[in-house]
Chain A
Amino acid sequence: MLEDAFASVVHWMEQSWLGVAGRDVFWVFPAAETLHFFGLCLLMGAILVVDLRLLGFARRLPLQATLALIPVALWGLAINLLSGIVFLCAHPENYWPSFAFRLKLLAIVLGGLNALWFKWFEAPRIATLAEDANVDARAKLVAALSITVWIAVIVLGRFLPFVSKSSS
């Protein structure tokens, strides 16, 4: 049932102008891949600085000022969601049936939920702390989870083309 609903959405994406452009205009797919790497760097760069500071690295980095880098990570994520949709529309058969792709989607959802948890439950507590404060174990866990999940997303993404090739 759910699988059928998804299949029709995937079919619609494949037939969309974006899918056609991704397949027929030679530079669209490589351009989306390049943007996907730019977004990856923005997302990971900002996340590394914020999360490593929360974990206790470079404690002289002012806590509240460091959180101002979060929008950079969100820009990176937005670039990658959009460029990722181009891949999916152009060649859904390479992604949708692939276990690595589904695992990657799951990891992205986990990363997003972890970020929302940070925004709703950790950021308000951190806002009351001094600039040179060491955050508590709970906030550190969220930071460690964030780094782990986003690195897992990179690993799954990089293995995806190889895994789906061998399974089809």
Chain B
Amino acid sequence: MLNFLEGLSQSDLIRLVAESDYGYPAVLTAHAIGMALVVGIVLVFDLRVLGLAKRIPLSVLRRFFTVAWIGFAINLTSGTLLFLANYTAFIKNVAFITKISLLLIAALCTWLLARDIESNRLPAAAQGAIETPTSRARMIAALSVILWLGAITAGRIVGYTDVPE
């Protein structure tokens, strides 16, 4: 496994990211834009479930998860590049491991919430009535906000530990 990572980290692409003047900031920029897409859309969805902008139908707002998925793809790619550029430091970095753990649980919450909304879709929604999420959905949404913001916080702390900025 480590040999495999070492091999990848020595590839031309990863050396370009790690060593060129603009490679690293360019990938960090992509990572920030991806974050805005994923967490931005998820937060809007969570806030709507929690009672904000009640007249927005959740069944339609769900379509914006496409945008969040694009952000997720950007961040999986840019995150992998950043990880490989300094994997020996990341692999034993507590803040990094915390970030990835929070991210996985947060993603699970968002998936559960999306499924919950889908299965509880109210028949009245079609007539333009207000959809009211279940209290279970509201609880998952609140948890989702905390976990996604927690992942961002842990990510910021990674920048202050022994990993180069």
B39 interface residue per 8 A CB criterion: yes
- Chain A binding site: helix, strand, loop or mixed by DSSP? helix
B136 interface residue per 8 A CB criterion: no
Quote the shortest CB–CB distance from A83 to chain B (angstroms).
Answer: 12
Chain A interface: which size bin? 35 or more
A45:B44 contact, CB within 8 angstroms? yes
Interface stretch of the complex, out of A30-38, A88-96, A108-116, A136-144: A30-38
B37 contacts across to A, CB distance below 8 A: 44, 48
B53:A68 contact, CB within 8 angstroms? yes
Q: Mark A140-168, 1 if CB is under 8 A from B, else 0.
A: 00000000000100110111011000100
- 7 interchain residue pairs of minimum CB distance: A45-B40, A65-B55, A44-B36, A68-B53, A158-B29, A41-B39, A44-B40
- Chain B binding site: helix, strand, loop or mixed by DSSP? helix
B139 interface residue per 8 A CB criterion: no
B165:A58 contact, CB within 8 angstroms? no
- Of B43, B44, B61, which is in contact with the most chain A CB atoms at under 10 Å from its CB? B44
B148 contacts across to A, CB distance below 8 A: 41
Interface stretch of the complex, out of B11-19, B106-114, B116-124, B151-159: B151-159
CA distance A65 to B128 in the complex (A): 11
B21:A37 contact, CB within 8 angstroms? no
Other 12 A-B pairs with CB < 8 A, given A30-B160, A41-B148, A68-B52:
A37-B32, A37-B152, A40-B35, A41-B36, A41-B152, A42-B43, A45-B40, A49-B61, A60-B63, A62-B55, A65-B55, A72-B47
B60 contacts across to A, CB distance below 8 A: 58, 60-61
A residues with a Cβ closer than 8 A to B are 30, 33-34, 37-38, 40-46, 48-49, 52, 57-58, 60-62, 64-66, 68-69, 72, 131, 151, 154-155, 157-159, 161-162, 166
A155 contacts across to B, CB distance below 8 A: 29, 33
CA distance A125 to B162 in the complex (A): 54
